[in-house]
Amino acid sequence: MTRQLALILATAGLAATLPAHAGKIDNGSWTHACGPRPAEVSLDLKNPDAFNKSVGAVNTYRQTQRAWLDCLQKEGNADIQATSQIISQFINAEAQATRQINDKIAADAKAAEAKFGDGK
């Protein structure tokens, strides 16, 4: 198995074991599955009756906004963790491949010394 194929399979295997993350980064922008920002509302200051009616909408907005921000935080943290794990696995696989190559070079150098060294 080639080194590249081994790395691809190792990375794909790790990705399959990680929790799915909903977001992606494209051209510097992160997308998520939390939906759009809740529509802004405001208090109606025309008169006391209008004001009292608008308080309910403001309270609903605040609850929706809090849930939306919680969703963003949860998804963002999951994306950070998953991405970090994938990158770490890739780097570790590359380091292992490099160690194997260097071990082979060292073994070959030792074999060359035994075969060609000391006046042989």
d(C-alpha 70, C-alpha 34), whole Å: 9
Q: Give the range of the structural domain holding residue 95, as residue numbers without chain letter.
A: 48-106
The residues that bridge with 38 in the sheet, in sequence order, are none
Residue 61 included in any domain? yes
Q: Is residue 60 part of a domain?
A: yes
* CA neighbor of 87 nearest in space, from 27, 25, 33, 7: 7
Q: Residue 18's pLDDT is what?
A: 45
Residue 20 lies in a domain: no
Number of domains into which the chain is organized? 1
What are the pLDDT tens digits along the chain (120 aa)?
A: 565 555 555 555 544 444 455 578 888 899 999 999 999 999 999 999 999 999 999 999 999 999 999 999 999 999 999 999 999 999 999 999 999 999 999 999 999 999 998 755
Question: Does residue 74 lie within any of the structural domains?
Answer: yes
CA distance 97 to 105: 12
pLDDT at 8: 54
